[in-house]
Structure 1
């Protein structure tokens, strides 16, 4: 069914069709035409923030808490540039958001018009993709494409910049539009040969470790991770972005690796002969000096983004694919092989680390409360079914260390950008 309407009405109608229920934003001149149909919408709620950066971060929080694509909206020029930090943050942490910005009228683009900024050019390095729309007929299709790109493959931010005249002009709206993304085909199924190679290395290793990152949570693969870990009896470390993806209370969990991690997690990586990296970036917070990181280990590296594999540490077995698919295939390959690794000596070493070097903190004799103690008590009182949200810095590290995370996605914070 086709209807005549303005570009702004087409924008809001498209948002309704892709399932948006909340938009965070601030009105301003170039985006103002979108606000009348947004106000009239019974399906989409607009949350007025105090600063566009807050709109972007709110969209990130919404995306991480719900698993849906977060949406933020801003006007041209300074409104759009205020979204740069949350877009960079979402890009680093693979958070699916769509940022919709108004742009000056198309005849004015490139003239240094009032409140003009080349937001497409500015955000090119920190978005999965971005669009500049000057034809109202392209609005619906572009919104559909933006949501598809943001939520598939490695999730991330997409920016849609729409000129004011495109929002004001009349167009014909029909749904669903036909997407035009010939070059976008994320690989989700891993190569069977690589899976067999990984299973072979697992069978041969004596000191393996599962190094688990945010990609496992993004793939909704915590059940498969638990299955593989229990099937193989391999110790597990979870990065800051994967806290809760493997339960803290599980005896195979060694804790968080890296400069703020546990001795047992760091020791597991450093002493290992095989690291199975799942949805991880081999980030500097985990590896420290790459030349001295896990010197005895072969590397199996699985990630949906081929650009991450061997970027920091050479992968002996590179696997491109969605972590849920990778884990499912790996479980089948390990079961087919039928060989169980002998890790008794390995577990004696790691459990020794756990007993000898537990996380601790100073207790004050004057009755003052150590912040770590506050986190511990909060965790005990509130329990594992809550969502915990942190900023960045010391309190973030205390929260990652002293709260028990049993469920995936229950610790929401900024990892890569540290904003």
Structure 2
């Protein structure tokens, strides 16, 4: 029971952290620190990566463990972020849409950068021959001097593209939510979206060809 008597770190930091983090856990027993750290690592790097808060209350610090027992309590995290493959049907659908494109455009977002699939992304861009536009958090995936970089013509390519491939990029305020004057004539765009989070699809506009999976697996499919 919390009587709010002015204890050290009395503020409920776990409750504060929960809405701000991907996951938040509290450890009450020293022998659980190993499994808690393992769970935090897995939560942080699997799926869409995000910050994890691990709460160690002051009362935990006075607990004592045998060194051997402490060593045994440590957990080796195995395959924390396993590959998530897109379905064959979704890959076929995306390819079919791309085949009909006259002015395709690839937009690289921070999800592509976080995925650490640089070579797979480069191969997609260079083999397809499609111009690419990097968002600010995806700068460096490919050099701005790359012959297919459309960074210097951002306004033009967003208006003129007929098929847009979003690679780890969200249609948020940075891209005018996929609507408005930024995107030219209403209804003139068809969107393919690659993202590890299925709830990201159709968040602002209809996604004709969603590919749900990790970036590396999707662009290599």
TM range (shorter): 0.7 to 0.9
Aligned pair 1:209/2:98, yes or no? no
Aligned to 2:54, what secondary structure does the other structure show? strand
1:314 positional shift: 2.2
Normalized against structure 2, the TM-score is what? Answer: 0.86
Aligned to 2:37, what secondary structure does the other structure show? helix
Asked if the contact 1:298–1:316 (Cα under 8 Å) also holds between the matched residues in 2, the reply is yes
Partner of 1:408: none
Partner of 2:190: 298
Provide, for residues 100-153 of structure 1, a one-character-per-residue CA deviation record: whole Å limited to 9, x for no partner: xxxxxxx6x463533311111112121110001112221111011111211222
Partner of 1:161: 55
Return the alpha-carbon distance in structure 2 between the equivalents of residues 288 and 134 of structure 1.
Answer: 43
Partner of 1:113: 6
Instruction: After the TM superposition, list the runs of 4 or more consecutive aligned residues in structure 1 that deviate by more than 4 angstroms.
Output: 184-187
Pairwise CA RMSD: 2.3
Partner of 1:177: 75
Q: What are the within-5 Å matches in structure 2 for residues 84-233 of structure 1?
A: 109=2, 111=4, 113-114=6-7, 115-171=9-65, 172-173=69-70, 174-177=72-75, 188-233=84-129
Gaps of 5+ in 1: 1-106, 256-261, 330-419
Which residue, 237, 245, 258 being the options, matches 2:141?
Answer: 245
Provide, for residues 3-52 of structure 1, a one-character-per-residue CA deviation record: whole Å limited to 9, x for no partner: xxxxxxxxxxxxxxxxxxxxxxxxxxxxxxxxxxxxxxxxxxxxxxxxxx
Aligned to 1:146, what secondary structure does the other structure show? helix
Q: What are the within-5 Å matches in structure 2 for residues 1-150 of structure 1?
A: 109=2, 111=4, 113-114=6-7, 115-150=9-44
Aligned to 2:166, what secondary structure does the other structure show? strand
Aligned to 1:190, what secondary structure does the other structure show? coil
Which residue, 322, 338, 360 being the options, matches 2:214?
Answer: 322
Asked if the contact 1:141–1:178 (Cα under 8 Å) also holds between the matched residues in 2, the reply is no
Which residue, 297, 307, 325 being the options, matches 2:199?
Answer: 307
Asked if the contact 2:177–2:204 (Cα under 8 Å) also holds between the matched residues in 1, the reply is no
Question: How many residue pairs get matched?
Answer: 211
Provide, for residues 27-84 of structure 1, a one-character-per-residue CA deviation record: whole Å limited to 9, x for no partner: xxxxxxxxxxxxxxxxxxxxxxxxxxxxxxxxxxxxxxxxxxxxxxxxxxxxxxxxxx
Partner of 1:19: none
Aligned to 1:170, what secondary structure does the other structure show? coil
1:307 positional shift: 2.5
Gaps of 5+ in 2: none
Provide, for residues 150-181 of structure 1, a one-character-per-residue CA deviation record: whole Å limited to 9, x for no partner: 122211100011112222112342144388xx
